[in-house]
Chains A and B, each alone.
Chain A
């Protein structure tokens, strides 16, 4: 059973990340609102109030991540200790990695307690309210503060140092790789791995990758829309041209998934185009040194960027690169519906278990 936890390692991470994303979105928007109103120093002003909300988001996102990972492994008893351990992890700068380790630890520990503690009626009501959360919470606290915290904080600091001392060319290369990951599956698992890396940087106060990721995440739907509506509309079906209009709005709100309908219809051409466009957008941002203190926010985050014009330039260049590549690659006429949806062979054998 414990081996199962590691077999489903990715699923547990993804659950935590999917719970964390709305926190990051709230944080991004609140920070943007605060910045728009300005006057963030005056206690009680609108700007001040929303800045507080944004700060709350950044101190709680790892708590939600850690609680989500623990919940995915052991269910409800994992949430509370996970939230506390995740918060502590932020406090000691172990950030993302620390929260992940703590989440798994808590999940495993609760699973173990559920299986090996004596079943007695008297204790049964005590377990979920006192025993599971307190023991898991204490254990996770000690581990985060004394065992994983210090080395992870040092590792994070080391990675940040390496990044800061990189030259322009290697920064472009790093950004290109991260951007490719962001674009490659348009909001899927690979995209979320990059998201984690960017979050780790942001938690350490390095905001370049965040600016790059925002541009790389927004470029694909806009790129597809430019290709489908302006450059080569004849190469697309009517349905796709409709999708393209929606894709523009999705791009502005930083929903990479806007490019997905195109990718599903024609993965061989769309995915490379989107991957390269996103990679270039992210690479340019890192090379130019543009930063933004929020991890999500679409065009609403533009006022927060250190250099709005350069940021917009990178976003548009990324989208144009995607648009040009896909426009060139596309055949002159769109495929008809019949040969689009081909059912693929199963790669792995399925297993039926009795639930």
Chain B
């Protein structure tokens, strides 16, 4: 599975990056490719490329605030969850996505 996503929390200094790490870590465990862009207080970091988006099977928006650039995901399956879900249940989240996509 190829997963991409954006994380962004209210303050944009801590949870944003923890959510990114959790998702990527879990992706490694499952053998998936997971690429996450962060939109914290410092602006956009680890930006997704057009190629990343092209190849993605699903987009995760783990955000508590409004994020920019969602128009890039036109036509892609998009999952919206609060940041806390990506931090607390990354594995359940990814597996659930796989299940739903395979339906």
User: CB within 8 Å of B: which residues of A?
Assistant: 10-12, 14-15, 17-18, 21-22, 71-72, 187-189, 192, 255, 257, 260, 264, 343-347, 349-355
Contacts and interface: CB of A to CB of B under 8 A. Distances in A.
Contacts of A354: 75-78
B37 to A, nearest CB: 15
A257 B13 contact: yes
Interface string B18-62: 100000001000000000000001000000000000000011000
Interface residues of B, number: 39
A350 B66 contact: no
Contact of B10 (A14, A346, A351, A352): A14
Contacts of A264: 18, 87
B97 A188 contact: no
A355 B96 CA distance: 18
Given A353-B78, A354-B77, A343 B92 contact: yes
A99 B80 CA distance: 27
B18 to A, nearest CB: 8
A346 B86 CA distance: 10
Contacts of B84: 188
A264 B14 CA distance: 12
A343 B78 CA distance: 22
Contacts of B59: 355
7 contacts: A10-B64, A11-B66, A18-B10, A72-B66, A188-B9, A350-B93, A351-B80
Interface of B: 9-15, 18, 26, 41, 58-59, 63-66, 70, 73-81, 84-85, 87-93, 96-97, 100-101
A73 to B, nearest CB: 8
B89 A346 contact: yes
Given A344-B92, A355-B59, A11 B65 contact: yes
Q: Which of B9, B70, B73, B97 gathers the greatest number of chain A CB atoms within 10 Å?
A: B9
Contacts of B70: 355
Contacts of B9: 188
Nearest to A345: B92
B41 to A, nearest CB: 7
A11 B91 CA distance: 24
Contact of A189 (B64, B77, B90): B64
Nearest to B88: A344
A252 B61 CA distance: 33
A353 B77 contact: yes
- The 4 A-B residue pairs with the shortest CB-CB distance in the complex, in nearest-first order: A72-B66, A355-B78, A343-B91, A355-B73
B14 A257 contact: yes
A187 B14 contact: yes
Nearest to B13: A257
Contacts of B80: 351, 353
B93 A14 contact: no
Q: Which of A12, A255, A355 gathers the greatest number of chain B CB atoms within 10 Å?
A: A355
B66 A352 contact: no
Q: Which of A343, A344, A345 gathers the greatest number of chain B CB atoms within 10 Å?
A: A343
A346 B89 CA distance: 6
B60 to A, nearest CB: 9
B10 A188 contact: yes
A11 B67 CA distance: 10
A22 B41 contact: yes
Given A18-B11, A18-B12, A188-B10, A355 B74 contact: yes
A71 B65 CA distance: 11
